[in-house]
Chains A and B, each alone.
Chain A
């Protein structure tokens, strides 16, 4: 199955590799994927969407 590739600069790759080993990830790919997922989850609920959510949550009816 086609899997898109992302280029990292060498220094960043080496740092990611170092920390993926320390943290016990099976590969750099797994580590990078996990970090990106965490970051994206933050972004999904952030900024303008978060502001909209805040506005909506001001309604007593919605948590």
Chain B
């Protein structure tokens, strides 16, 4: 029998049993300890390979003495969807998150938006000249439905701490502690938008998604620049492009951007510079990062300001000045948006740990994708993120006395996305020049060290679960699904000659189009009564069309070069048929499961129509998991026995509740997949 935890005496087991943990009674025994390490993107095949190579002794120990199985993920295997499955024990039909990107079907052309949270402005305002005062505040609303498992633990009186759980922004209310993770924006409301100051912006791509590039000049060894902050919702100014119409149409107004001026004084001889930003002064050498710097954008003088934090990276002083500034983080000391429960827990964490990245996935993949960072610079920045997380892990472990503790790590996921091509000779973007071939192995080893520290710290009564939301696969080829729909007659363009020139479905003739792809795995029918310009009638016409497209997609083959006849799509699912719950009809009509090596192209998810259906992916983002979910399971590793032959995320939710004797909600569709010694002891005790 494989076990890390020793068999406990019955009396101890009874103390740890579900009967002993509820209620919040001051005299109750401490609640059983369950520790969950959530490692985004930890892949079971890679993990086993590194273990076999002797690189991960702590994972090997847990595999040998505990139990290890691939963990079934969600369809689609995108992180917000997968983590929502784990959080709620439901599939997208229950929690309503089908993709990173959803769409509003009631606009002229389907409007995409980020799926996790929605922002509502204050409904009423008062205007005083150029100032606009909101009456009541706007709000940010989590779009995921269903109860989180820790809310159920909370109701049973189990102390719970949830650190950076994805798809939990703003964090759901409960009496425990939580800090939001994936889905949390930067201060500008984006997933993360860096600022890059350079004398030569022409060296950088024109359209840099995920950041802004600013041209600066060096005069007398001095650079004057501005950090652009959030829009000032308290102020209005005339729109720059707006011209008063000849027919007297009133001038249009917008909320102006807030800005902070800063100065950089270059050392005339050395490759170093002094920075002056608000009240802060610091010196950086070329290639050096600053510590976190607090900055405050003034919205209403003396009354309202937006507080953020940034780090400066002095990339180059001469011959051309280059400065990278991180996305502006929500300052955990004074958060402008709700990022923790209780609301001041983020400030407590800040007091203990110092400032930290609060944005959702802080590894700056976009800076590498667009050539702002080299591979090594990305790796260094990603290592800083990991170091912050490791410090938080140490602190949380020291504080962990009872109940459930969940700690999330993003590093394996983000580094697997970006470093894959450095070691894969078959990748169209293979790059052996940066010496990063061992980059992914090295972050796996860092996680092994975390696990080693964990195994040292936990006692025999603690249930330990190491889990991931999905695994990984190479991303060699992009599929322009909208182009496939166009070439197969399901989409018509208003101006066929302008194919590839429009964004956001701008050239689509909706009166003649029957289907469209949106998001990373979604395909929608242009359905009458649902889409604003829908033409496909519900019922038989809809069913026939869905079947026809499904058949067509499944028979798509890659006939280029040596990949003659290779399957491109290995799975197509229908949410309305395959999912459970009241929201199963609210998502895409089909979910596309790409075969290994393929993924949605870069352009198709937001409604662009490049000329080719299949294209090589030579970008830095060289591995992915948004494919057929059966090909990218996650990991389940525990010091308990895994009783299910093929456990999945929704089963793990039930298993965690069962650790505390809490029954799953009727809408939860998983089943318990763990068997712990304590549970066995308790059931034996009851028989007696």
Contacts and interface: CB of A to CB of B under 8 A. Distances in A.
A60 B190 contact: no
B528 interface: no
Given A44-B504, A45-B506, A55-B189, A60 B114 contact: no
Interface stretch (A13-21, A23-31, A46-54): A46-54
B390 to A, nearest CB: 22
B68 interface: no
Contact of A63 (B113, B603, B624): B603
Given A60-B621, A61-B520, A62-B101, A55 B190 contact: yes
B253 to A, nearest CB: 13
A62 B209 contact: yes
Contacts of B101: 56, 59, 62
Contact of B209 (A37, A41, A63): A63
B501 interface: yes
A7 B100 CA distance: 45
B191 A53 contact: no
A52 B112 contact: yes
Interface in B101-119: 101, 111-114
A58 B210 contact: yes
Nearest to B417: A60
Nearest to B111: A52
B542 interface: no
Chain A contact residues: helix, strand, loop or mixed? helix
B504 A53 contact: yes
Nearest to B603: A63
B112 A61 contact: no
A56 to B, nearest CB: 6
A52 B504 CA distance: 10
A4 to B, nearest CB: 15
Contact of A60 (B111, B366, B495): B366
A45 B504 contact: yes
A57 B210 contact: yes
Q: Which 4 A-B pairs have the closest CB atoms?
A: A57-B209, A63-B602, A58-B191, A44-B506
Interface of A: 37, 41, 44-45, 49, 52-63
26 contacts: A37-B495, A44-B504, A45-B503, A52-B111, A55-B189, A56-B101, A56-B112, A56-B114, A56-B606, A57-B366, A58-B190, A58-B191, A58-B192, A58-B209, A58-B210, A59-B100, A59-B101, A59-B191, A59-B210, A60-B210, A60-B366, A61-B100, A61-B520, A62-B520, A62-B605, A63-B603
Given A52-B112, A61-B624, 13 more contacts: A45-B503, A49-B111, A53-B504, A53-B606, A54-B190, A55-B114, A56-B114, A58-B192, A59-B100, A59-B114, A60-B366, A60-B417, A61-B78
Interface of B: 78, 100-101, 111-114, 189-193, 209-210, 361, 365-366, 369, 414, 417, 495, 498, 501-504, 506, 520, 602-603, 605-606, 621, 624, 626
